[in-house]
Structure 1
């Protein structure tokens, strides 16, 4: 009898835990008190993380050493382009490109690229690295190999023959957004063989471990009269503001801004000027807590040392340049890191950030 009671109590506890896990909700902006940024560095191809209480002064965790090293989590022994996002259930999701662009230099492979560069072009890779956590400390990991998909791609080679997913040239810069019906949509850059880069999207499982739909084309560069894409488009970022989806991306090094009333498009380009002639990539828009103000952060990849460039906007139409990290007139400052690349920011609650700071202080 005692054994039956104990088993019943254990079953009740498990049921309660499951109900609580399912009932967790995404907190609102009024619950937020600070920010966490993720980025990578060419020097180590690992995942880095920094924090800020006000959105302007940033400090790296772990003294700017990786919080997670790429050679333990990625098939190519290196990660790039990390993006952080809070899922509908309140968990944090991070998605990254599984790619080491200096693999030969660093001794993780004997060739410049994983596959033939003449056939698959620069930086070719096959998949993404996915992470999920409720505390930003303990993570579950999934390695997503897109080249193993068997669904049609809609891509053809120079002779017009259909190309399978095994012929993909890249899967870069994944980012996520919550759909109106509470699903996770992930969008990322793709290329087939040496074709043009463009953006595709896919829906993900609630636990962020697998795709629940086939990838579909979301956004491309301009097309000629025969329907061929004429320019590369990479690094998409999508934000919903007042019923309008704002898509930022990079077209041959230059920022583009497109809008739509539907998450899956079609998107229409609108005039956009970030105030500088230099080329940038990896645009990411994030909101300042409690303010009608957003910061657009971009990666100045042509700059030595690498740095981020920032604009502010209150209406998503006019963007005011505020400069690079640590410039004399720029309000954004770094206290202990440099040469960061391809960053992304998420709002966090006070207890979440205090717990994270305490953990890394140990």
Structure 2
């Protein structure tokens, strides 16, 4: 690993998992090390924080974005995928946000002080907000972590019961000349103690992410040579973590994020992010953190928020989940994922309907408003978000994006009936209004309306409607 591979800060997202639904942490006793296996029942929902970028940087936005999920796999962006808070000091932007539920049940948000991709920018500070419910953000400030001539990347925090303080870990270059994971301690996220080296295996490591007290063991995942690797310790003392297990990767992967399964089965998920502006998330599963081995999840099973980068995931209560949706709303648009090519989404390109690999620009090409069918309100028509006068319609059985000319022929060509997915009933398929033996399907990645006869046809004609 180079001294500073600009596969930069992928904030470790530490899931602070010690809270029973609706009960302040200090009242539960769940913070004690070893309480890990009982905690999954307290995870009825999750919130994700992130910033946004896209391949040509059309989606670049360095404010705080939020999404919610009932299962930690399928995500709904809030506030139309616009930021809910933006820094006003330092660089004026953030990367690598992290949400922690504090001991009193409220939240603190931390983030790297960096707007954009000027990797020469150096800040000894991190951004901080307070929040009671993640629906409003107060007390914005920056907290200084050190006086060194180096960055403070990918901050996250945890409660250290033995010190009666919060630890803040982050990536920085110390006197060794390579990136290590540092720690400072704080009681108020206003001022912090002097920095100490938390984890230094002797080579570059960034993006530390912690899971605490899992059967008496603390786990730290981090980026090592573009892979996600693990270490563990029976304590939280700086220097106590030792490497173990098998690293995972999907290309150049960073920003490890550990998430306990909500199924109360002892399983965990590990999220990782490709470091290029494409920002594709991948996920792995293990039945036990102690095993140190992971199995890649099928991309059919999870969907990241549009253009999301470097996420952090935090368990929340069902009431908090409902409150966030009530305050920020769900998107006014949808994306459609292919069933048998789940890395690909429905989009228009040169006004032709097709499925292409996420991520792409212009990203609004893959955003659709599913409106009442132009020929029958019981059906659905696909209105383009970035060309709102145009709809997907079939012409010679090929789907293309055309302007509504007001004719009954156009209305019929642009109307479809949504049905249970032909390959998976929990997904969706779309039957043509005026060619009712034909369904929308992809062939050589181009969208058509065709009869469906084989298992492959059924898979080609099945899509997930999400965000």
TM-score, with structure 1 as normaliser: 0.73
> In the alignment, what sits opposite 2:168?
186
Task: Kindly indicate whether the alpha-carbon contact (under 8 Å) linking 2:210 and 2:221 is maintained by their aligned counterparts in 1.
Answer: yes
Superposition map of 1:250-289 within 5 A: 250-264=223-237, 265-274=239-248, 276=249, 278-289=251-262
Task: Kindly indicate whether the alpha-carbon contact (under 8 Å) linking 1:135 and 1:352 is maintained by their aligned counterparts in 2.
Answer: yes
Superposition map of 1:166-181 within 5 A: 167-181=148-162
Q: Distance in 1 between matches of 2:141 and 2:155?
A: 14
Q: Distance in 1 between matches of 2:186 and 2:43?
A: 25
> In the alignment, what sits opposite 1:360?
328
| SS in structure 1 at match of 2:247 | coil
> In the alignment, what sits opposite 1:321?
296
- Correspondence for 1:297 among 255, 259, 271: 271
Task: Kindly indicate whether the alpha-carbon contact (under 8 Å) linking 1:170 and 1:192 is maintained by their aligned counterparts in 2.
Answer: no
Q: Distance in 2 between matches of 1:297 and 1:77?
A: 27
| SS in structure 1 at match of 2:301 | coil
> In the alignment, what sits opposite 1:132?
130
| SS in structure 1 at match of 2:62 | coil
Q: Distance in 1 between matches of 2:68 and 2:250?
A: 30
> In the alignment, what sits opposite 1:64?
81
Q: Distance in 2 between matches of 1:277 and 1:346?
A: 23
> In the alignment, what sits opposite 1:310?
283
- Do the aligned partners of residues 320 and 253 (structure 1) sit closer, same or farther apart at CA in structure 2, a change above 3 Å counting? same
Task: Kindly indicate whether the alpha-carbon contact (under 8 Å) linking 2:91 and 2:114 is maintained by their aligned counterparts in 1.
Answer: yes
- Do the aligned partners of residues 233 and 123 (structure 1) sit closer, same or farther apart at CA in structure 2, a change above 3 Å counting? farther
> In the alignment, what sits opposite 1:144?
143
| SS in structure 2 at match of 1:168 | coil
Q: Distance in 1 between matches of 2:132 and 2:201?
A: 37
Q: Choose 39-48 or 276-285, whichever is displaced more.
A: 276-285
Task: Kindly indicate whether the alpha-carbon contact (under 8 Å) linking 2:230 and 2:247 is maintained by their aligned counterparts in 1.
Answer: no
- Do the aligned partners of residues 31 and 295 (structure 1) sit closer, same or farther apart at CA in structure 2, a change above 3 Å counting? closer
Superposition map of 1:19-30 within 5 A: 25=27, 29=39, 30=41
> In the alignment, what sits opposite 1:36?
47
Task: Kindly indicate whether the alpha-carbon contact (under 8 Å) linking 1:219 and 1:267 is maintained by their aligned counterparts in 2.
Answer: yes
The Cα of 1:193 is off from its aligned counterpart by 9.1
Q: How many residues align?
A: 286
| SS in structure 2 at match of 1:306 | coil
TM-score, with structure 2 as normaliser: 0.57
Superposition map of 1:43-82 within 5 A: 43-70=60-87, 72=88, 74-82=89-97
| SS in structure 1 at match of 2:84 | coil
- Correspondence for 1:214 among 194, 207, 218: 194
- Displaced runs of 4+ in structure 1, greater than 6 A? 21-24
The Cα of 1:101 is off from its aligned counterpart by 3.1
**Per-residue CA distance 1:25-58 (angstroms, 9 max, x = gap):** 4696444421000011230111110000122210
Superposition map of 1:98-113 within 5 A: 98-102=113-117
Higher helix share: 1
Gaps of 5+ in 2: 1-22, 31-38, 54-59, 331-467
| SS in structure 1 at match of 2:284 | strand
Higher strand share: 2
**Per-residue CA distance 1:236-266 (angstroms, 9 max, x = gap):** 0111211111111112322221111111242
Task: Kindly indicate whether the alpha-carbon contact (under 8 Å) linking 1:51 and 1:60 is maintained by their aligned counterparts in 2.
Answer: yes
Q: Does 1:88 align with 2:94?
A: no
Task: Kindly indicate whether the alpha-carbon contact (under 8 Å) linking 1:168 and 1:190 is maintained by their aligned counterparts in 2.
Answer: no
| SS in structure 2 at match of 1:57 | coil
State the structure with more CA Rg. Answer: 2
Q: Distance in 1 between matches of 2:78 and 2:182?
A: 32
> In the alignment, what sits opposite 2:208?
236
Q: Distance in 2 between matches of 1:298 and 1:22?
A: 30
